[in-house]
Amino acid sequence: MSPGAGADVVVVGAGPTGLLLAGDLAEAGADVLVLEKRFGRSNLTRAFAVHARTLEHLRVRGLAEALVATGQPVDRLQLFGSATLPLTGLDSPFPFVLVTPQHHVERLLLERALDHGARLVEGVTVTDLTQDDDGVRLSGVDQDGGTTVTEAAYVVGTDGHRSRVRDALGLDFPGESVIRSLVLADVRLGSPPPDVLTARGNQEGFVFVAPFGDGWYRVIARDARREPDVDEPVSLAEVRDVVQRVLGTDLGMGETRWTSRFHSDERQVRRYRVGRALLAGDAAHVHSPAGGMGMNTGLQDAANLSWKLAAVLDGRARDDLLDTYHDERQPIGAQVLRVSGGLIRAALRRDPVTRAMRDVAIRTATSLPRVRAALVGRVSGVGLRYPAPAGSHRAVGSRAHRGGTDLPLSPARFVLAAPQRLLAAHHPAAVVRTVETDPAAPAVLVRPDGYLAWQQDPGGDDAAGLARAAARWGAVAPGQRPPGSAPR
């Protein structure tokens, strides 16, 4: 084994997903090692939209305020053409989408992970893994071409869409290619568009423009006339030309600070867990940038997985608690692929008649409050929930009210908010913070990721249900879990 290379959990890949996971595990007291093939920080600006639910998760980790200060809050979602969805009524402390470059998210998550004691080793490319009942063994190559070996109880592949961990597990990545060639450019604009967000398409292609709030704008464009190979460099003239043909103006485009060309796939792995190995983020699912949900979904995968891994490592829950990570997150990933796929396919319509019909259909649909709320809830993440286990209160699995702003949430602790009588009966555990509530309010046990594990309506008496939920999810002291109790 390479020196110092054993850990409770090895996280492969220091992108946003891996960094949030590593920080949470370290905060919960686990020994966590992150292996990253790159050196230094990425200044990639792939993701630029941070949605409300992700901001709620970052608030709990003390990072939301600093992140919001780096970007521009936008109070509506731009679909295409004139179709927008207002976010002002969102039941969240963050009723907006934050436009900010992905590297700010990564910087804040890295600093937090290191502060909590996570170890980062750069320049190691993981090449293979094997596992047995006792643990996993990862092989890698360092910057000098030397072989590295790392052992851990669990490994999480957060190594992006070309995941080596996924390949080593023998998992395929079924799906299809959606866009063969898309241009990305961060540019300065002399004459920015009047709307905060602009999304337009015609026979010439498709253009999306969003502000970063510091004078720079993100342009995403598809030229319907040509689909160059992704390796062909992007020129300012090319971006200007397609923007001019789609918007009728080049927006006074000046310098660029970053450009890229990529093709977009829609793929999802069928299993998020194979024994002691788990997949999260782009390693598990990829889709088009429409809706800006990729990084957001990866961060929410990590927030779902981290406390479960910590509970299993701590002996507070059985290993099969980790199966609930797949059960909860795989359907959410599939839903994100459907929503993003629907948006991009509608946006790419070229024929004027079909586009006009599309615009009427979307205007009609989004004028219905229920449709609007469902779409906003899905894209912002605020409306997502997990299934309630059989026999539990129907609210179980839903997000704590307003993302738990009125509760002392933490990624390493549960919160039990209940009247004094129930608190006194509950077995105390270091991983549970208690809050005394009015007997007229519902009593709740909230998971570290902010979803309800148990609820009792006012006047109810479900102390037994609380004990079952606490045992099921690991809200107990190590060793306190009743023998044979299953996570579900």
**Residue ranges binding ligand FAD (CB under 6 A):** 12-18, 35-38, 46-49, 102, 125-126, 158-160, 164, 184, 262, 281-282, 289, 292-296, 298
Cα–Cα distance for residue pair 266/261, rounded to 1 Å = 17
Q: How far is the CB of 247 from ligand FAD (least distance, A)?
A: 19
Nearest CB to ligand FAD, comparing residues 280 and 407: 280
Q: How far is the CB of 295 from ligand FAD (least distance, A)?
A: 3
Nearest CB to ligand FAD, comparing residues 158 and 380: 158
Nearest CB to ligand FAD, comparing residues 124 and 253: 124
Distances (CA, A) of 415 to 386, 432, 452: 18, 5, 10
Nearest CB to ligand FAD, comparing residues 102 and 456: 102
Distances (CA, A) of 286 to 19, 103, 261, 449: 18, 19, 16, 23
Which residues share a beta bridge with 424?
none
Q: How far is the CB of 262 from ligand FAD (least distance, A)?
A: 5
Query: Contact at 8 Å (CB) between 81 and 199?
Result: yes
SS3 letters across 238-271 = HHHHHHHHHHCCCCCEEEEEEEEEEEEEEEECCC
Nearest CB to ligand FAD, comparing residues 71 and 160: 160
Cα–Cα distance for residue pair 202/355, rounded to 1 Å = 8
Q: How far is the CB of 423 from ligand FAD (least distance, A)?
A: 39
Nearest CB to ligand FAD, comparing residues 200 and 481: 200
Q: How far is the CB of 282 from ligand FAD (least distance, A)?
A: 4
Q: How far is the CB of 252 from ligand FAD (least distance, A)?
A: 23
Nearest CB to ligand FAD, comparing residues 111 and 462: 111
Nearest CB to ligand FAD, comparing residues 159 and 223: 159
Nearest CB to ligand FAD, comparing residues 298 and 474: 298
Q: How far is the CB of 227 from ligand FAD (least distance, A)?
A: 16
Q: How far is the CB of 306 from ligand FAD (least distance, A)?
A: 14
Which residues share a beta bridge with 150?
138
Q: How far is the CB of 65 from ligand FAD (least distance, A)?
A: 20
Nearest CB to ligand FAD, comparing residues 158 and 366: 158
In 3D space, the residue among 129, 165, 228, 152 whose CA is nearest the CA of residue 17 turns out to be: 165
Query: Contact at 8 Å (CB) between 299 and 61?
Result: no
Q: How far is the CB of 25 from ligand FAD (least distance, A)?
A: 15
In 3D space, the residue among 228, 173, 244, 184 whose CA is nearest the CA of residue 210 turns out to be: 184
Token pair of 430 as six digits: 């270091």
